[in-house]
Amino acid sequence: MNKKKSRTKVTDVFNITSKLRECDAISINGICGRVETLTKRYPLELWDAIHSKGSKISLVRTAYFKLKKAVFVIDPERVLITEKLHELHKSKRKLIKEINQEIKKVNGKINDELISSNRREIANLNKLIKSLEKQSFFYSTRSPVI
């Protein structure tokens, strides 16, 4: 009995996750190696590959934390921008959830003021997210000063 239905039978038997561990091999932009090696030698390339739009690369928490520390030493602005983007997306999801709960109310009157204020907040968050994504793109295309 599995609580979560897996995509393949292999994951049922071996409990394989889609997240990469430090010992797993990966290839990024022609650079091949283990995640641990890439974290030490090419942390910015790995960071950019993880945070690029549509990326399917994901690390377990411990590996991501080590990568984050390595990138912060080289280019702290990248880490700070990524954290800020994460917080903005998180607050946007929370506002959308609040709107949906208000719309799905069965008993009682729908609070239109709350919905419209949340939609304005979401519009403001979208503007902030776009500006930070442009800034993030700028930082990912330039080489850091070491």
- 13 vs 70 pLDDT, higher one: 70
- Of 1, 32, 138, the closest CA to residue 81 belongs to 138
Domain assignment of residue 109, given as a range: 77-141
Helix (H/G/I), strand (E/B), else coil: 31 = strand
Residue 41: predicted pLDDT:
94
Query: Among residues 55, 74, 93, which one ends one of the domains?
Result: 74
CA atoms within 13 A on the CB side of 93: 6
**Residues 15, 68 share a domain:** yes
Q: Where are the beta strands (DSSP E) in the chain?
A: 25-28, 31-34
Distance of CA 119 to CAs 72, 89, 92, Å? Answer: 34, 14, 10
- 126 vs 40 pLDDT, higher one: 40
- Of 18, 76, 68, the closest CA to residue 43 belongs to 68
The total of structural domains in the chain comes to 2
Distance of CA 24 to CAs 35, 67, 112, Å? Answer: 6, 14, 51
Residue 106 tokens read as 């069965």
d(C-alpha 123, C-alpha 117), whole Å? 10
Neighbouring-strand partners of residue 26: 33
Residue-wise pLDDT tens digits, 59-81:
999 999 999 999 999 999 889 98
Confidence label for 144 from pLDDT (cuts 50, 70 and 90): very low
Residue 28: predicted pLDDT:
87
Neighbouring-strand partners of residue 25: 34
CB atoms within 10 A of CB 43: 21
Is position 6 within any domain?
no
Query: Among residues 39, 74, 109, which one ends one of the domains?
Result: 74
**Residues 56, 105 share a domain:** no
Contact 30, 38 (CB under 8 A): no
Residue 88 tokens read as 């903005």
